[in-house]
Structure 1
């Protein structure tokens, strides 16, 4: 499954990465303009080494935006901004859109961080941006977390920034919130050297299996096909494509280079059972295993966490966010929760002010240190 980002720019040709390339190693960088981004002083597109869900080496791309000259950004906090789902391929990578005179859907949120003097690092996600890496592993939590955490490492190593000791935080909404949550859960073991002070995550897709069942066959049915493709990409070591029909393989071939909008429009109202040998492929034992592994809340963040959700969210049910909050609370996470009486899109806007205020507070506070979580029921 190959990915064409619809760009001939050689910068986005995926370089070879071997097992000796440390995660976060800078492989390529260049200074770029960000004409549509208020508050930006200077920006760099990066290609860096990261790891797949199975920890195999892979390159990824992203963008780092400085709010001011080096004299004012030395050790400035770094915000890892995790974008919403952009697609399985296509020309929708944030590191590309932010350098063009066209609308980047999350410009306002990124600008709000730049206004505080923070450096903002935005990962494209594996399979987005760079050519020839296959479809983006949508809904694969570990892949998303690795891309986020390794971009933090790459940003700290960027010679122009002099930011080797800067604290960082992460922020995202929906699938971006999922990436932020997974990054917080994996950071203590995967990137313990990072000074991750906290995260803010809204409408977190904590349980992909439940979400897939809710949207399958409806206006957003294309997201279930995208999830099938993304998770199959992440779990290539398992025979996860055993249920897909010949017609389904043709649909996958068509969808794997599409943006999110194209996937949703093309496969609207089409149930996943149309591409599989059974109407409920998520209930196949192998897929139940995959989805169980992709449920958030298995790890314990050692950073502060702010979760928020809309009570009228018709895409990601508020019960999903409440469940993650409850799980983190049992694990002793330093935690806050906010509900908004609005739907999915409006909550992203309404929740932004408090999210960035919480992040500012976390970045001013000392780094949390705590022992790994121990379940009292097993000891």
Structure 2
């Protein structure tokens, strides 16, 4: 029988089971299409949150359907995982949705492989993660073997159909229930044009059908990204080797992932030869970021954060259980199957005060509870010195992933003696809480980010402007 996502008393999608169908209680209509299931107990809290999660080895015999999108069987983890982090579980050819034939017969910008590999989550348990490796058509013209860029995508959503590797094959998904746009393709293709190979992680629980995506979990994201770099070396036909210089690249959620990976690389993956890291608009301080996204166009991301952390941390789960109301229960369950496009339409500009029994925001509730605040503080990026040079860029008007907390990360790293290039992207205010202040720097800084990382992959030394910290811009 197929797994079915149920909920705790808080209405959180419990990890004892997994389904990604839209609840009729939320939509107000019956969905009779084959493969769809109604979320049981969304408002009744049928399953106790204290039940253990299914192991990553759990498997289904029926396809998982997420908001009308059938998740390929490839994304269902096997009953057993390899013993080493970064070891491949399986691979298959991945047709790129945006690709053209090259003059030499090879597709441009490259040949893609879908992959599943082993990683370790924040609780120390083995977990299957999916992603994609792209062997570029362009030749590498720099010194040494072809380098590798491990790319962490920006926010895609929490439904399995939102996985970045899925978006590479389906750049635009519009089916009435799901709105998914593969916006990271531009950065990926620009990196491939330099001759560097690219490996993309889907993160823990995004795509893989056995668990909920642990959105912005510092350790989960870092491990998934570093293990993707390890896995790329074993992809059949890949030209990268253990000696290939490796760069990390990410913006927004991806910026947090690449920043955390740079911090954890020395202890978790010293075998990854890290040459440089680009961290754009990283959510380093989630307490600050929660305030930024609450009531914004991206308010649905707050639901993803709450669901993901409450699943993994008993203290946060207890606080959510005690404070969430019926509307909040339904919203968290519904949002947990959404992509970012769905969330913009479904929960844009929603305030979390509507989800709580007290009428306080989730940020206020967490700030007032020492257990919850301590749990969130464990997610803070900046407590460790990153390996290798880092370029950290953030828009000065960014009010979704606030500029001040991203800049503070640069200050924290500089104080630890890190080699940091900090770039404050000085644009005018393009609209409060509507995502423009956050998204425009993604595009305007991309060329500089790719050039900076290409220089690191070529072995060129990086400069640092830590001397300017902590002077305010």
* TM > 0.5 fold call: yes
Q: Classify 1:199/1:8 alpha carbon distance in 2 versus 1 (closer, same or farther; 3 Å).
A: closer
Query: 5+ residue gaps in structure 1?
Result: 369-379
Of stretches 245-254 and 21-30 in structure 1, the one that deviates more from structure 2 is 245-254
Q: Alignment partner for residue 345 of structure 2, among 238, 262, 265?
A: 265
Gaps of 5+ in 2: 1-12, 21-65, 101-107, 173-180, 428-436, 463-473
Aligned to 2:92: 30
Structure 1 residues 224, 305: closer, same or farther in 2, change over 3 A? same
Distance in 2 separating the partners of 1:250 and 1:217: 18
1:243 Cα deviation from its structure 2 partner: 2.5
Please report the TM-score for the alignment, with normalisation by the length of structure 1. 0.89
What is the aligned partner in structure 2 of residue 54 from structure 1? 123
Question: In the alignment, which residue of structure 2 is the partner of 1:112?
Answer: 190
The answer as to whether partners of 2:309 and 2:316 remain within 8 angstroms in 1 is no
Rounded to whole Å, the distance in 2 between the matches of 1:71 and 1:245 is: 53
Q: How does 1:47-86 map to 2 (within 5 A)?
A: 47-68=116-137, 75-86=145-156
Q: Whose relative contact order is higher, 1 or 2, with alpha carbons under 8 Å and at least 6 apart? A: 1
Q: Equivalent residue for 2:467?
A: none
Shift of the 154–237 alpha-carbon distance from structure 1 to 2, 3 Å rule, reads farther
Q: 1:160 maps to which residue?
A: 237
Q: Which shifted more, 50-59 or 266-275?
A: 266-275
8 Å CA contact 1:61–1:123 kept in 2: the answer is: yes
User: Runs (4+) of structure 1 moved beyond 4 Å?
Assistant: 69-74, 236-239
Q: Indicate the residue corresponding to 2:214 in structure 1.
A: 137
CA distance in 2, matches of 1:236, 1:155: 34
Q: How does 1:91-240 map to 2 (within 5 A)?
A: 91-100=161-170, 102=172, 104-133=182-211, 135-165=212-242, 166-235=244-313, 239-240=317-318
How far residue 89 of structure 1 moved from its aligned partner, in angstroms, is 1.0
**CA positional deviation for 1:7:** 2.1
CA contact (8 A) 1:3 1:89 kept: no
Question: Residues of 1 paired with 2:234 and 2:322: CA distance?
Answer: 44
2:371 matched to which residue of 1? 286
Q: Shift of the alpha carbon at 1:34?
A: 1.1
Aligned-partner Cα distance in 2 for 1:40–1:151: 20
Match of 2:31 in 1: none
**Mean Cα deviation higher: 146-155 or 256-265:** 256-265
Confirm whether residue 338 of structure 1 aligns to residue 423 of structure 2: yes
- Corresponding residue SS for 2:421: strand
Aligned partner (choices 83, 88, 91) of residue 21 of structure 1 = 83
Q: Distance in 2 between matches of 1:115 and 1:269?
A: 38
Shift of the alpha carbon at 1:335? Answer: 1.2
2:330 is matched with which residue?
A: 250
Q: TM-score, normalised by structure 2?
A: 0.72
Q: How many residues align?
A: 366
Check the 8 A contact 1:84/1:175 in 2, yes or no: yes
CA deviations over 1:56-100 (Å, ceiling 9, x no partner): 111010000011399999931111111111111142211112123
CA separation in 2, counterparts of 1:197 and 1:54?
28
Structure 1 equivalent of residue 450 of structure 2: 356
Whole-angstrom distance in 1 between the partners of 2:289 and 2:71: 36
Say if 1:204 and 1:244 are closer, same or farther in 2 by CA, change over 3 A: same
Q: Distance in 2 between matches of 1:110 and 1:354?
A: 14
**Which residue is 1:372 aligned to?**
none
Q: Does 1:319 align with 2:404?
A: yes
Residue by residue over 1:292-343, the C-alpha shift from the partner in whole angstroms, topping out at 9 and shown as x without a partner, is: 1111101111211001111121212221121111111111111101122223
1:108 Cα offset (Å): 1.2
Q: Please name the residue that 2:4 is paired with.
A: none
Secondary structure in 1 matching 2:151: strand
Q: Greater Rg, structure 1 or structure 2?
A: 2
Report if the CA contact (8 A) 1:243-1:281 is conserved: no
Q: 1:239 to 1:100 in 2, by over 3 A?
A: closer
| 2:85–2:120 Cα contact (<8 Å) kept | yes
